[in-house]
Structure 1
Amino acid sequence: MSTIVRTLRNLRRVGFKDAAHQMQNIGDTKAGTLIGTDRFGNKYFENMTEELPLRTRWVDYKEAEYDASHIEPGWHAWISYLVDAPPYADKIMQTGLRPWEPRDHRANPTQSRAAFKTYSTTRPKISAWTPTAAPR
Protein backbone atom coordinates (compact mmCIF):
# COMPACT_ATOMS: atom_id res chain seq x y z
CA MET A 1 0.00 0.00 0.00
CA SER A 2 1.36 3.40 -0.88
CA THR A 3 0.89 6.87 0.52
CA ILE A 4 -1.36 9.44 -1.11
CA VAL A 5 1.63 11.55 -2.20
CA ARG A 6 3.28 8.55 -3.87
CA THR A 7 0.01 7.55 -5.54
CA LEU A 8 -0.52 11.07 -6.92
CA ARG A 9 3.09 11.22 -8.14
CA ASN A 10 2.72 7.87 -9.90
CA LEU A 11 -0.63 8.97 -11.33
CA ARG A 12 1.12 11.95 -12.91
CA ARG A 13 3.93 9.73 -14.27
CA VAL A 14 1.95 6.85 -15.76
CA GLY A 15 -1.34 8.57 -16.54
CA PHE A 16 -4.87 7.98 -15.36
CA LYS A 17 -5.57 4.96 -17.58
CA ASP A 18 -2.48 2.98 -16.54
CA ALA A 19 -2.91 3.96 -12.88
CA ALA A 20 -6.51 2.68 -12.92
CA HIS A 21 -5.30 -0.53 -14.60
CA GLN A 22 -2.63 -1.00 -11.91
CA MET A 23 -5.07 -0.35 -9.08
CA GLN A 24 -7.47 -2.90 -10.58
CA ASN A 25 -4.84 -5.61 -11.07
CA ILE A 26 -2.10 -5.19 -8.44
CA GLY A 27 -3.77 -2.82 -5.97
CA ASP A 28 -0.99 -0.22 -6.08
CA THR A 29 0.38 2.37 -8.48
CA LYS A 30 3.93 1.91 -9.68
CA ALA A 31 6.04 3.90 -12.10
CA GLY A 32 9.10 2.41 -13.71
CA THR A 33 10.92 1.79 -16.96
CA LEU A 34 9.65 -0.85 -19.35
CA ILE A 35 12.35 -3.51 -19.60
CA GLY A 36 10.64 -5.73 -22.15
CA THR A 37 7.70 -7.85 -23.16
CA ASP A 38 7.45 -11.59 -23.65
CA ARG A 39 5.67 -13.63 -26.31
CA PHE A 40 2.48 -13.76 -24.22
CA GLY A 41 2.22 -9.95 -24.14
CA ASN A 42 3.23 -9.51 -20.49
CA LYS A 43 5.17 -6.32 -19.73
CA TYR A 44 8.11 -6.27 -17.33
CA PHE A 45 9.08 -3.13 -15.41
CA GLU A 46 11.86 -2.04 -13.09
CA ASN A 47 12.30 0.95 -10.78
CA MET A 48 15.55 0.99 -8.85
CA THR A 49 15.15 4.42 -7.24
CA GLU A 50 11.90 4.55 -5.28
CA GLU A 51 10.84 0.98 -4.57
CA LEU A 52 11.77 -1.12 -1.56
CA PRO A 53 14.56 -3.70 -1.94
CA LEU A 54 13.41 -6.88 -3.74
CA ARG A 55 10.27 -5.06 -4.92
CA THR A 56 11.94 -3.20 -7.75
CA ARG A 57 10.78 -5.54 -10.55
CA TRP A 58 7.22 -6.39 -11.43
CA VAL A 59 5.13 -7.81 -14.24
CA ASP A 60 1.97 -6.42 -15.80
CA TYR A 61 0.06 -9.44 -17.08
CA LYS A 62 -1.81 -9.15 -20.35
CA GLU A 63 -4.68 -11.39 -19.23
CA ALA A 64 -6.88 -10.53 -16.27
CA GLU A 65 -6.99 -14.21 -15.25
CA TYR A 66 -3.32 -14.96 -14.72
CA ASP A 67 -1.13 -17.40 -12.84
CA ALA A 68 2.60 -17.86 -12.44
CA SER A 69 2.80 -20.22 -15.42
CA HIS A 70 2.20 -17.25 -17.73
CA ILE A 71 5.81 -16.11 -17.15
CA GLU A 72 8.51 -17.58 -19.39
CA PRO A 73 11.50 -19.23 -17.65
CA GLY A 74 13.98 -16.50 -18.64
CA TRP A 75 11.73 -13.72 -17.40
CA HIS A 76 10.99 -15.71 -14.24
CA ALA A 77 14.71 -15.87 -13.50
CA TRP A 78 15.00 -12.11 -14.04
CA ILE A 79 11.96 -11.16 -11.94
CA SER A 80 13.12 -13.48 -9.13
CA TYR A 81 16.56 -11.78 -9.06
CA LEU A 82 18.37 -14.97 -10.13
CA VAL A 83 20.01 -13.12 -13.04
CA ASP A 84 20.82 -9.43 -13.46
CA ALA A 85 20.24 -9.09 -17.21
CA PRO A 86 16.84 -9.57 -18.85
CA PRO A 87 16.47 -12.59 -21.18
CA TYR A 88 16.91 -10.65 -24.41
CA ALA A 89 20.35 -9.43 -23.24
CA ASP A 90 21.63 -12.85 -22.15
CA LYS A 91 22.28 -15.36 -24.93
CA ILE A 92 21.82 -18.39 -22.68
CA MET A 93 18.47 -17.19 -21.29
CA GLN A 94 16.86 -16.47 -24.67
CA THR A 95 13.73 -18.46 -25.44
CA GLY A 96 14.03 -21.44 -27.75
CA LEU A 97 17.74 -22.15 -27.26
CA ARG A 98 17.28 -24.81 -24.60
CA PRO A 99 15.99 -28.19 -25.84
CA TRP A 100 14.06 -28.96 -22.64
CA GLU A 101 12.04 -25.74 -22.75
CA PRO A 102 8.47 -26.24 -24.01
CA ARG A 103 7.62 -24.50 -27.27
CA ASP A 104 4.05 -23.60 -26.35
CA HIS A 105 2.38 -22.58 -23.10
CA ARG A 106 1.01 -25.26 -20.79
CA ALA A 107 -1.29 -23.89 -18.12
CA ASN A 108 -0.88 -24.84 -14.47
CA PRO A 109 -3.74 -27.29 -13.73
CA THR A 110 -3.63 -26.90 -9.93
CA GLN A 111 -7.08 -26.41 -8.38
CA SER A 112 -8.82 -27.67 -11.49
CA ARG A 113 -10.23 -30.97 -12.70
CA ALA A 114 -7.00 -31.65 -14.60
CA ALA A 115 -4.83 -31.53 -11.46
CA PHE A 116 -2.62 -34.50 -10.63
CA LYS A 117 -4.20 -36.90 -8.17
CA THR A 118 -2.18 -39.65 -6.56
CA TYR A 119 -3.45 -43.18 -6.40
CA SER A 120 -2.11 -46.43 -5.04
CA THR A 121 -1.96 -49.76 -6.85
CA THR A 122 -1.25 -51.75 -3.69
CA ARG A 123 -3.90 -53.32 -1.50
CA PRO A 124 -4.40 -51.46 1.81
CA LYS A 125 -3.06 -53.22 4.90
CA ILE A 126 -5.84 -51.91 7.10
CA SER A 127 -9.47 -52.39 6.18
CA ALA A 128 -11.87 -49.60 6.94
CA TRP A 129 -14.50 -50.25 9.59
CA THR A 130 -18.10 -49.65 8.63
CA PRO A 131 -20.39 -49.55 11.66
CA THR A 132 -23.72 -51.31 11.47
CA ALA A 133 -26.60 -50.24 13.68
CA ALA A 134 -28.71 -52.98 15.23
CA PRO A 135 -32.45 -52.60 14.66
CA ARG A 136 -34.41 -51.50 17.75
Structure 2
Amino acid sequence: MSTITRTLSNLWRVGFKDYFHQLNYIGDTKAGTLIGVDRFGNKYFENNEELPLRTRWVDYKVHDFDASQIEPGWHAWISYAVDKAPTQDSALAYKRRAWEDTDAKTIPNYTLSRGAYKPYSTVKSKITMWEPTAVERK
Protein backbone atom coordinates (compact mmCIF):
# COMPACT_ATOMS: atom_id res chain seq x y z
CA MET A 1 0.00 0.00 0.00
CA SER A 2 1.35 3.40 -0.83
CA THR A 3 0.57 6.97 0.08
CA ILE A 4 -1.46 9.20 -2.20
CA THR A 5 1.50 11.49 -2.86
CA ARG A 6 3.71 8.56 -3.88
CA THR A 7 0.96 7.18 -6.11
CA LEU A 8 0.38 10.53 -7.81
CA SER A 9 4.10 11.12 -8.34
CA ASN A 10 4.42 7.65 -9.88
CA LEU A 11 1.44 8.42 -12.13
CA TRP A 12 3.23 11.55 -13.27
CA ARG A 13 6.52 9.68 -13.86
CA VAL A 14 5.25 6.56 -15.66
CA GLY A 15 2.14 7.85 -17.45
CA PHE A 16 -1.44 6.59 -17.56
CA LYS A 17 -0.80 3.46 -19.62
CA ASP A 18 1.96 2.04 -17.41
CA TYR A 19 0.16 3.26 -14.28
CA PHE A 20 -2.94 1.15 -14.98
CA HIS A 21 -0.80 -1.73 -16.27
CA GLN A 22 1.06 -1.84 -12.94
CA LEU A 23 -2.14 -1.60 -10.92
CA ASN A 24 -3.57 -4.58 -12.80
CA TYR A 25 -0.52 -6.83 -12.55
CA ILE A 26 1.46 -5.93 -9.43
CA GLY A 27 -1.20 -4.08 -7.45
CA ASP A 28 0.99 -1.04 -6.85
CA THR A 29 2.59 1.72 -8.88
CA LYS A 30 6.35 1.92 -9.17
CA ALA A 31 8.59 4.18 -11.19
CA GLY A 32 12.16 3.17 -11.86
CA THR A 33 14.87 2.85 -14.44
CA LEU A 34 14.84 0.00 -16.93
CA ILE A 35 17.90 -2.12 -16.17
CA GLY A 36 17.47 -4.69 -18.92
CA VAL A 37 15.33 -7.09 -20.90
CA ASP A 38 15.98 -10.83 -20.97
CA ARG A 39 15.55 -13.18 -23.93
CA PHE A 40 11.94 -13.94 -22.95
CA GLY A 41 10.94 -10.27 -23.10
CA ASN A 42 10.70 -9.71 -19.32
CA LYS A 43 11.68 -6.17 -18.27
CA TYR A 44 13.70 -5.56 -15.11
CA PHE A 45 13.51 -2.30 -13.18
CA GLU A 46 15.26 -0.72 -10.22
CA ASN A 47 14.48 2.29 -8.03
CA ASN A 48 16.67 2.85 -4.99
CA GLU A 49 14.19 5.37 -3.51
CA GLU A 50 11.75 2.56 -2.65
CA LEU A 51 11.63 0.64 0.62
CA PRO A 52 14.54 -1.74 1.24
CA LEU A 53 14.20 -5.10 -0.55
CA ARG A 54 11.47 -3.64 -2.80
CA THR A 55 13.80 -1.72 -5.06
CA ARG A 56 13.95 -4.29 -7.87
CA TRP A 57 11.04 -5.77 -9.77
CA VAL A 58 10.19 -7.55 -13.01
CA ASP A 59 7.45 -6.85 -15.53
CA TYR A 60 6.68 -10.21 -17.13
CA LYS A 61 5.93 -10.32 -20.83
CA VAL A 62 3.47 -13.20 -20.40
CA HIS A 63 0.97 -12.28 -17.74
CA ASP A 64 0.22 -15.84 -16.73
CA PHE A 65 3.55 -15.49 -14.96
CA ASP A 66 5.59 -17.88 -12.90
CA ALA A 67 8.94 -17.44 -11.18
CA SER A 68 10.41 -20.13 -13.45
CA GLN A 69 10.16 -17.63 -16.33
CA ILE A 70 13.14 -15.66 -14.95
CA GLU A 71 16.63 -16.56 -16.17
CA PRO A 72 19.16 -17.60 -13.47
CA GLY A 73 21.33 -14.48 -13.80
CA TRP A 74 18.35 -12.17 -13.52
CA HIS A 75 16.98 -14.25 -10.64
CA ALA A 76 20.24 -13.77 -8.73
CA TRP A 77 20.04 -10.01 -9.33
CA ILE A 78 16.36 -9.60 -8.45
CA SER A 79 16.76 -11.59 -5.22
CA TYR A 80 19.76 -9.42 -4.18
CA ALA A 81 22.29 -12.26 -4.39
CA VAL A 82 24.50 -10.10 -6.64
CA ASP A 83 24.85 -6.33 -7.01
CA LYS A 84 25.39 -6.10 -10.77
CA ALA A 85 22.71 -7.02 -13.28
CA PRO A 86 23.48 -9.51 -16.09
CA THR A 87 23.68 -6.55 -18.50
CA GLN A 88 26.67 -5.25 -16.50
CA ASP A 89 28.30 -8.54 -15.46
CA SER A 90 29.30 -10.92 -18.25
CA ALA A 91 29.50 -13.89 -15.83
CA LEU A 92 25.74 -13.63 -15.20
CA ALA A 93 24.77 -12.98 -18.81
CA TYR A 94 22.97 -15.72 -20.71
CA LYS A 95 25.07 -17.74 -23.13
CA ARG A 96 23.37 -20.35 -25.28
CA ARG A 97 24.87 -23.81 -24.89
CA ALA A 98 25.37 -26.16 -27.80
CA TRP A 99 22.71 -28.62 -26.62
CA GLU A 100 19.98 -26.00 -26.11
CA ASP A 101 17.20 -25.22 -28.55
CA THR A 102 17.53 -22.03 -30.55
CA ASP A 103 14.09 -20.74 -29.54
CA ALA A 104 13.62 -19.23 -26.10
CA LYS A 105 11.22 -21.17 -23.94
CA THR A 106 10.89 -22.07 -20.29
CA ILE A 107 9.84 -25.21 -18.48
CA PRO A 108 6.80 -24.22 -16.43
CA ASN A 109 6.46 -25.06 -12.77
CA TYR A 110 3.71 -27.70 -12.55
CA THR A 111 3.49 -27.78 -8.74
CA LEU A 112 -0.12 -28.01 -7.50
CA SER A 113 -1.43 -28.74 -10.98
CA ARG A 114 -2.45 -31.85 -12.89
CA GLY A 115 0.98 -31.99 -14.52
CA ALA A 116 2.88 -32.22 -11.21
CA TYR A 117 5.32 -35.07 -10.71
CA LYS A 118 3.76 -37.96 -8.81
CA PRO A 119 6.12 -40.71 -7.74
CA TYR A 120 4.90 -44.26 -7.57
CA SER A 121 6.33 -47.25 -5.79
CA THR A 122 7.53 -50.36 -7.60
CA VAL A 123 8.10 -52.23 -4.33
CA LYS A 124 5.55 -54.77 -3.13
CA SER A 125 3.67 -53.49 -0.13
CA LYS A 126 4.56 -55.02 3.23
CA ILE A 127 1.08 -54.44 4.54
CA THR A 128 -1.82 -56.31 3.01
CA MET A 129 -5.40 -55.22 3.10
CA TRP A 130 -7.79 -57.28 5.20
CA GLU A 131 -10.27 -59.10 3.06
CA PRO A 132 -13.27 -60.37 4.97
CA THR A 133 -14.39 -63.92 4.33
CA ALA A 134 -17.99 -64.79 4.91
CA VAL A 135 -18.90 -68.26 6.05
CA GLU A 136 -22.11 -69.64 4.57
CA ARG A 137 -25.01 -69.87 6.97
CA LYS A 138 -26.51 -73.26 7.71
TM-score range, shorter chain: 0.7 to 0.9
Task: Report the structure number with the largest CA radius of gyration.
Answer: 2
> Where does structure 2 lack aligned partners over 5 or more consecutive residues?
134-138
Are residues 1:117 and 2:118 paired? yes
C-alpha deviation, 1:106, in angstroms = 1.6
**For residues 92-130 of structure 1, what are the alpha-carbon distances to aligned partners after superposition, in whole Å with 9 as ceiling and x for unaligned?**
111116789887422222233321101111112222346
Question: Corresponding residue for 1:106?
Answer: 107
C-alpha deviation, 1:3, in angstroms = 1.4
C-alpha deviation, 1:41, in angstroms = 0.7
Question: Corresponding residue for 2:28?
Answer: 28
**Runs of 4+ deviating beyond 3 Å:** 97-104, 128-132
Question: Corresponding residue for 1:54?
Answer: 53
Q: Separation in 1 of the partners of 2:51 and 2:69?
A: 25
C-alpha deviation, 1:36, in angstroms = 0.5
Structure with greater contact order relative to length (CA < 8 Å, sep ≥ 6)? 2
User: Please, which moves more after superposition, 118-127 or 35-44?
Assistant: 118-127
For this pair of structures, how many residues does the alignment match?
132
Q: Give TM-score, length-normalised by structure 1.
A: 0.86
CA RMSD of aligned residues (A): 2.4
Matched residue SS, 1:9: helix
Q: Give TM-score, length-normalised by structure 2.
A: 0.85
Structure 2 CA distance for partners of 1:45 and 1:123, relative to 1, 3 Å? same
Question: Corresponding residue for 1:12?
Answer: 12
Structure 2 CA distance for partners of 1:101 and 1:93, relative to 1, 3 Å? farther
Calculate percent identity across the aligned residue pairs.
Answer: 65
Matched residue SS, 1:89: coil
Structure 2 CA distance for partners of 1:15 and 1:127, relative to 1, 3 Å? same
Q: Separation in 1 of the partners of 2:99 and 2:81?
A: 19
Question: Corresponding residue for 1:127?
Answer: 128
